[in-house]
A and B are shown apart, each in its own frame.
Chain A
Amino acid sequence: MVLSFYLKHVERLAGNWPCIKSKKKKKKLARLMASRSSKDHKGPDPCPICLEPVKEEAYLDRCFHSFCYRCIVQWSNVVSKKHSQAKSSMKCPLCMTENFSIVHGFNGENFQQHYISQSHDKNNLSSAHQFRLQWYNSNARVSRKESDVHLYWKLLRYLRRNIWLENWLRREIQALTQQEDVEIIVHHIHGAIENFIRRQQQDHIKNVMPEDKRKRFRELISDVARPFLFGRTERFVDELESFLVLGLTVDAYDAICMQNLPGASTSSD
């Protein structure tokens, strides 16, 4: 296993070597390199960057080679500095496969994804995005009265179109995924919400309890958003509901969040 993986890695390394053009030469080089520690690999493979046992294991999302989280993030920062233009991918140091994110912090249930573009795209995403991410990372919640939530569903307030919803969604998803181009996801989730409302308009005569409507809405949005937001889906649905119930503009909503964030002045990354 280890050897074949090594051969593959070495062959790819050789493949990236412009000096070596013919296949035969590449094979030869691969053999030359493969003699490297092909014999003794005791225990798990060390991190290829620090050569120590892997700390805070992190994977690349395409080739699944693993590294210490710190090591691979450091390397991705070095690589990104070399390019004047922001790149959204990075070559694996071992096999040169293009990868788009670093998967880390797996705790048995959730994991986190560090996008390659994150380190330098940060400039493109505003401080409001930063704040939202900080908000999602905290346990803070917007203060809202449960009675308001109840009334929202009972008095069919959801039928009133929220004109700020699409912009708000876009901003939230950009902040959560740390990607700029999220149009497809926004369209998908926004479409699901509109569909839900349209269906409610058609059969609101039927006697559905407000609590059931609410539950159905939350389930629907969870299902739609989960493939993109993973472990943060439930929190996102909470936020979405708060935003809809409060019926505020994006700025006004942010202002309320700002007040609710414990120790708002200290920023975490």
Chain B
Amino acid sequence: MQASRARLFKEYKEVQREKVADPDIQLTCDDSNIFKWTALIKGPSETPYEGGVFQLAFAIPEQYPLQPPQVRFLTKIFHPNVHFKTGEICLDILKNAWSPAWTLQSVCRAIIALMAHPEADSPLNCDSGNLLRSGDMRGYRSMARMYTRLAAMPKKG
């Protein structure tokens, strides 16, 4: 569809222009396919994800922006709203609360916010959700921290 291409191209230009503006997000587009994007986001500070760099994969539908992009984590992450195996994300703005005014950039920002504020009541990762719901913050933090170290940080010699 012409409309989705035009808009993605517009977003691409915007991302190039604002590259320096947001050091937490690095969005890149597949050279051969404008409907495939990847993002690298930094784990927010004061969370177990701090210091980690997480990779997201965007698959954009032809009807974009009337339909939301499909986003998933490629980097393993221990978070109640992210499926541990598939990386699927449970976030209302990516489903029924989608608005065409969101951009790939602002979706990344929303995901960073979700990392900082996990919602234990709609878990995709039950283990993580249960730890949070039972109030075991220490258990949740240490598990999340461990997976951040294992999957999202450069290996130390």
Q: If A13-B99, A19-B92, A50-B3 touch, does A33 touch B106 (CB 8 Å cutoff)? A: yes
Indicate whether A32 sits within 8 Å of B10 (C-beta atoms), given known contacts A18-B92, A19-B91, A74-B66.
no
B59-89 CB mask vs A (1 if < 8 Å, else 0) is: 0000101110000000000000100000000
Residues on B with beta carbons closer than 8 Å to the beta carbon of A16:
97
Q: Pick the contact of A94: B92, B101, B122 (CB < 8 A).
A: B101
Residue A82 at the chain B interface, CB threshold 8 Å: yes
The distance from the CB of B64 to the nearest CB of chain A, in whole angstroms, is: 11
Chain B residues with Cβ below 8 Å from A25 are 117
Nearest to B3 among chain A residues (CB) is A50
Kindly list the 3 A-B residue pairs having the minimum CB-CB distance in the complex, ordered from nearest. A19-B119, A48-B101, A93-B99
Bound-state CA distance A26–B95 (Å) is 20
Q: List 13 A-B contacts (CB under 8 A).
A: A13-B101, A35-B22, A36-B105, A36-B109, A48-B101, A49-B101, A51-B10, A52-B10, A75-B100, A78-B67, A82-B96, A93-B100, A93-B101
* Residues of chain B having any CB pair with chain A under 8 Å: 3, 6-7, 10-11, 14, 18, 21-22, 63, 65-67, 81, 91-93, 96-97, 99-101, 103, 105-106, 109-110, 112-114, 116-117, 119, 122
CB distance from B66 to the nearest CB of A (A): 5
Contact (A29, B3) CB under 8 Å given A36-B105, A49-B100, A93-B101: no
Binary per-residue interface labels of chain A (1-34) against chain B in the complex, 1 for a CB within 8 Å, 0 otherwise: 0000000010001001111100001001100110
Quick check: A19 and B65 within 8 Å, CB to CB? no
In whole angstroms, how far apart are the Cα atoms of A16 and B91 in the complex? 12
| The one of B3, B6, B14, B110 that contacts A33, using a Cβ cutoff of 8 Å | B110
Q: How far is the CB of A85 from chain B (nearest CB, A)?
A: 15
Kindly provide the distance from the CB of A148 to the nearest chain B CB, expressed in whole angstroms: 53
The yes or no answer to A206 lying at the interface (CB within 8 A) is no
Residues of A within 8 A of B119 (CB): 18-19
